[in-house]
Amino acid sequence: MPRSGGHSYGGYSSGDGVVVADVSRLNQVKVSGSRATVGAGANLFGVYAAASNHGVTIPGGSCPTVGIAGLALGGGIGYSARHFGTTADNLARLQIVTADGELLVCDASHHSDLFWACRGGGGGNFGIVTDFTFETHPVSTVSTYEIEWPWAQAAPALAAWQLFAPHAPDALFSVLDLIATDPSAPGARAHVVSAGQYFGPESDLPSLLQPLTSTGTPIRITTGTLSFLDAVVHWAGCRDAATCTEARSTFAAKSDYVAAPLPAAAISTVVNAVAARQGHGRGAIYFDASGGAINRVPKAATAFVHRDSLFSMQYTSGSDDASLTWLANLYAQLRPYVSGFAYQNYIDPNLRTWPHAYYGANLRRLEAVKRKVDPHGFFRFPQSIRPA
Ligand SMILES: Cc1cc2nc3c(=O)[nH]c(=O)nc-3n(C[C@H](O)[C@H](O)[C@H](O)COP(=O)(O)OP(=O)(O)OC[C@H]3O[C@@H](n4cnc5c(N)ncnc54)[C@H](O)[C@@H]3O)c2cc1C
């Protein structure tokens, strides 16, 4: 299996008895004109840092050590996505070694079906990508915000956020996190925090964020103006750029997309689940707004099908038995309220409905591309696309 950043949740770029093609040394980033050519082994921080030297960026994710290959091939969502689209939406060209050893250059007019499949069809399915060429966007500074509410106001905060964030101006990407904190930390408490990045002046934020700040009685409202790269470091949760490539801890995760606002019963379910977790172990629910440029691309235009959701929810916990039980119960309780879709980049080995959940109506075309470029399933793992 190909491996770039090695962050596959399912461990699908490693494992016993698997031949691994590690592309991490193909990590050069070359910016020229309005495009950046990125080696398939570059990590996100390396991409952001090199691009920012030229005053540009590509929309990526927030974890600095995630590999560009896994991210882009499965979509790629982050703090610039409502403004610039998914990482895959910004792909202009890629080079890929297919199962028969051929190096193909794919773009809108060459091997266009394979190019379509590589924009959301998921890593490890069609061959080994060696480099990607992206359209870049000029950036200088961005505005940021964080709002925290008392835990007792978690339900109204979530209710307000879900009506606001997916419909905010494209320039604003917003998340809401419900987090049971580490029970061993002194004074640990459950948190409800919304944060976001805005491509516009900080002075716009007070009126823009009014639907959130006027909900309940926030205990913290902060805004800032940061260089784009400092914002990357901030969202990565690193102390500074030098520590932004340190390894991170492991966790268990599941995800959903939500297409209609969560009713009060669902909001109670998530808030109560995180509250019950507090004091017992790690547990968090991360809400990422969709809409904006993400949803303006037609579902069939690329293999990334998740174009009509309001937001995604990712549930994470530790990997011990009690944590996994918490995760499974929460997931089961939320089935009536979610769309049936899940993010292929939060690949979930326990998800039985994965072909539909990751790819929906694009699955059949993906299977047809697989039949064409890898008819014998040379590249395969438990959730790989099968040749039709
Ligand atoms: C801490 C953390 C934070 C994250 N944050 C975000 C986020 O903000 N936004 C977001 O969208 N996602 C996020 N993700 C999910 C991330 O996008 C996926 O886990 C992604 O698949 C990781 O890519 P990788 O290259 O690091 O992993 P790998 O394990 O190297 O690769 C993932 C998959 O792609 C395949 N692959 C790798 N290299 C190639 C190649 N050269 N050619 C073809 N296939 C290849 C692998 O075989 C594997 O199946 C996060 C993940 C983690 C662990």
- The average pLDDT across 234-241 equals 89
Domain limits, CATH 3.30.465.10, in the chain:
2-139+359-373
The residue whose CA is least distant from atom 34 of ligand 1 is: 123
For residue 17, is pLDDT > 90?
Answer: no
Atom of ligand 1 nearest to the CA of 70: 23
Question: Cα(314)–Cα(178) distance, rounded to whole angstroms?
Answer: 10
Sheet with 29-32, side-by-side order of all strands: 29-32, 35-39, 128-135, 91-97, 103-107
When pLDDT is cut at 50, 70 and 90, the band that residue 182 belongs to is: confident
CA–CA separation, 293 vs 6, rounded Å?
A: 28
Answer for the pair 270, 159: CB distance below 8 angstroms, yes or no: no
What ranges make up the beta strands (E) of 115-211? 128-135, 137-138, 141-149, 172-180, 191-198
Alpha helix segments (H runs only) across 75-153: 81-84, 112-117
How far, in Å, from the CA of 4 to the mean position of ligand 1? Answer: 7
Rounded alpha-carbon distances, angstroms, from residue 226 to 82, 136, 201, 312 = 19, 19, 11, 26
CB 219 within 8 A of CB 148: yes
| Pairwise pLDDT comparison (247 vs 211), residue with the higher score | 211
When pLDDT is averaged across residues 152-172 and rounded to a whole number, the result is 98
User: Reduced to 3 states, what is the DSSP secondary structure of residue 82?
Assistant: helix
**Atom number of ligand 1 nearest to Cα 2:** 47
Q: Which pLDDT score, from 0 to 100, does residue 248 have? A: 58
- For residue 249, the model assigns a pLDDT of 67
- Indicate the pLDDT class of residue 280, thresholds 50, 70 and 90: confident
Atom of ligand 1 nearest to the CA of 86: 11
Q: Cβ neighbours of residue 186 under 8 Å, at least 6 residues apart?
A: none
- Say how far apart CA 121 and CA 83 lie, in whole Å: 22
pLDDT value for 16: 75
Q: What is the pLDDT of residue 247?
A: 63
* CATH 3.40.462.20 location in the chain: 141-354
Report CA 247 to chain centroid distance, whole Å: 18
Options 3.60.20.10, 3.30.465.10, 1.20.210.10, 3.10.270.10; CATH for 2-139+359-373 is 3.30.465.10
> How high is the mean pLDDT of the chain?
95
The pTM of this model reads: 0.97
**Fold of the 141-354 domain:** Vanillyl-alcohol Oxidase; Chain A, domain 3 (3.40.462)
Query: Is the pLDDT assigned to residue 212 strictly greater than 90?
Result: yes
pLDDT band of 279, cuts 50, 70, 90: confident
List, chain by chain if needed, residues with CB within 6 Å of any ligand 1 atom.
1-9, 12-13, 23, 40, 61-63, 66-67, 69-71, 73-78, 123-124, 128-129, 248, 345
Alpha helices in 57-209 (DSSP H): 68-74, 81-84, 112-117, 154-164, 205-208
Q: Which atom of ligand 1 is nearest the CA belonging to 62?
A: 8
* C-alpha 279 to ligand 1 mean position (Å): 31
* Cα 41 to middle of ligand 1, angstroms: 11
Do the beta carbons of residue 29 and residue 18 sit within 8 Å?
no
pLDDT (tens digit per residue) in 282-301: 899 999 999 999 999 999 99
Which of 143-147, 234-238, 343-347, 383-387 is least confident?
234-238
Residue where the block lists tokens 């490890």 = 124
Residue with structure tokens 């990125």? 38
